[in-house]
Amino acid sequence: MPAISIDPSRCAGDGLCAMTCPQVIFRPPAAHAVPRLVRAEACVHCGHCVAVCPHGAISHPDYPEGTLTPVDRGRIPTYDGLMELLRSRRSRRAFFEERSVGTDLLGRVMEAARFAPSAHNEQSTEFIVVRRRATLDRIAKLTIAFLERTVRNLRHPVKRTMARLLVGREVATAAASLDEFEWIVSEWKRGRDVIFHGAPCALLFASDRAARFAAVNANLALQNAALAAETLGLGCFYTGYVTAACARDGRIARLLSLPGTHRIYGGLALGHPRVTFERWMERRPPRIIWR
């Protein structure tokens, strides 16, 4: 249990800590009184209480003095600037294959990813950087083998029925993609890399399966990483087929020496893009239910 304390001489009794704590470990104060700690053992170490208090009244062992950085509001993008980034970002699948992605750039991408929100502040996502061509090729081959096996099993009426009983709706989704899977396999056999598209790097997002909302945490981190990559002049795309293979086949995880308790929940192929998109287009209007 963290030794959280409130300095009465600094506390203004505004109750900001009680308002913002996701675990409700502070009892809201009476007017101008000091809040009371009522369940410190439930703290998830998010730091909301320390970050929100303008008086420096709260002490938390995870955030000693000197570890907090003031927010520079002038560097936060405007809504219009953010929307231009979101509208213009596109998945890139054409790379300068001979140009590696430097460690500094990858570090900056992962720095953005680690600041993504996570359930109960578990910060469960771990990153696997794959830059060896031989390893990328091996992951691609294992992914192709998974797609081949999926096609073979779901084309077989008995195996398809058994799979439907075991995993239900997932089978219908996969069955609708069998023609696409067969095309991918055939293109691979013709010598075309339809898994990584020649990207010189893959960034995979993994976690211990026991982490709460591990898949959600990983994909929130992935979105941060994709946006950061765009601002750094990198191109990327979501490695959906690799992620699907990892969900049903442990061989890629074993290839990367992941512990048996872990799983890969998402991935980005990264590289220096050969093309730049100069225009963005509209999307369908949002589907909204107002209540």
In this predicted model, what pLDDT tens digit does every residue of 170-216 receive, in sequence order? 656 666 778 898 999 999 999 999 999 999 999 999 999 999 999 99
- The arithmetic mean of pLDDT across residues 245-274, rounded, is 96
pLDDT cut 90: percent of the chain above it: 80
What pLDDT is recorded for position 235? 97
What pLDDT is recorded for position 170? 64
The answer on pLDDT for 166 being more than 50 is: no
Is 104 in the same domain as 181?
yes
Per the structure, the count of domains in the chain is 2
What pLDDT is recorded for position 32? 73
The answer on pLDDT for 152 being more than 90 is: no
Q: Return the higher-pLDDT residue of 236 and 65.
A: 236
Mean pLDDT lowest for which of 100-109, 110-119, 155-164, 180-189? 155-164
- Of the pLDDT bands very low, low, confident and very high (cuts 50, 70, 90), residue 165 is very low
Is 51 in the same domain as 118?
no
What pLDDT is recorded for position 177? 77
Is 169 in the same domain as 196?
yes
What pLDDT is recorded for position 115? 97
The domain boundary residue, chosen from 57, 82, 107: 82
- Of the pLDDT bands very low, low, confident and very high (cuts 50, 70, 90), residue 30 is confident
Is 76 in the same domain as 117?
no
Is 115 in the same domain as 233?
yes
The domain boundary residue, chosen from 82, 104, 125: 82
Q: How does pLDDT run across 116-138, given as a tens digit for each residue?
A: 999 999 999 999 999 999 999 99
The domain of 187 spans: 91-291
Is 278 in the same domain as 229?
yes
Is 203 in the same domain as 108?
yes
What pLDDT is recorded for position 1? 57
Q: Say how many C-beta atoms besides its own lie within 10 A of residue 266's C-beta.
A: 25
Is 67 in the same domain as 144?
no
Is 119 in the same domain as 240?
yes
CATH code of the domain containing 201: 3.40.109.10
CATH code of the domain containing 19: 3.30.70.20
The domain boundary residue, chosen from 82, 114, 132: 82
Is 223 in the same domain as 145?
yes
